């Protein structure tokens, strides 16, 4: 997994070209104006899910991974804690191929908090649990504000073989 901010994309030149394609799409389009739901960018190869929700306790969320797609989380507004682990550390359930959904159970290994412009790229071996709302030191009602999150899914068919990708970095 890769955690960063879109202002520093030049530091991540070894990411797959498709990931940069996701960020360039986000730059060229007002994703905050899009309705919630799934929107195709390039058929089933590249699409965006616009989601908006209130964050909650980690126990009310679920762990998931994807085998066919890279899961690119880009925070537009608000803040969200995403708990993390690797699938080899989890109790993996039955994979649902038509939804590219691999549910699992387990404990977190770490967390990141995404703010506006932050991104998290999750690969097939990564297990994110998003929508978690409590920050360390928060009071009983101290939830992170509701998230306006973009998930851009890129179907990755080839491994990284060349870091000289030639993309126009934001």
Instruction: Give the tens place of pLDDT for each residue, 109-135.
Output: 999 988 888 899 988 899 988 766 544
Q: Alpha-carbon distance 164 to 84, whole Å? A: 29
Q: In this predicted structure, which of 30-44, 47-61, 82-96, 145-159 has the lowest mean pLDDT?
A: 145-159
Its pTM stands at 0.77
| Mean per-residue pLDDT over the chain, rounded | 74
Is 148's pLDDT higher than 70?
Answer: no
**Of 149 and 115, more confident:** 115
pLDDT-derived band of residue 8, with 50, 70 and 90 as boundaries? very high
């Amino acid at each position: 997994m890769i955690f960063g901010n879109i202002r520093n994309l030049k530091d991540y030149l070894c990411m797959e070209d498709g990931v940069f394609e996701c960020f360039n799409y986000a730059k060229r389009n007002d994703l905050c104006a899009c309705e919630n739901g799934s929107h195709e960018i390039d058929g089933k190869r590249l699409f965006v899910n616009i989601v908006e929700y209130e964050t909650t306790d980690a126990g009310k969320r679920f762990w998931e991974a994807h085998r066919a797609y890279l899961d690119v989380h880009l925070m537009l507004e608000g803040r969200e804690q995403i708990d993390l682990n690797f699938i080899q550390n989890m109790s993996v359930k039955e994979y649902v191929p038509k939804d590219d959904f691999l549910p699992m159970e387990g404990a977190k290994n770490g967390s990141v908090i995404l703010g506006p412009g932050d991104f998290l790229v999750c690969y097939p071996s990564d297990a994110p649990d998003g929508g978690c709302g409590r920050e360390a030191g928060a009071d009983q009602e101290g939830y992170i504000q509701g998230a306006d999150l973009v998930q851009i899914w890129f179907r990755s068919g080839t491994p990284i073989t060349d870091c000289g990708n030639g993309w126009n970095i934001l």
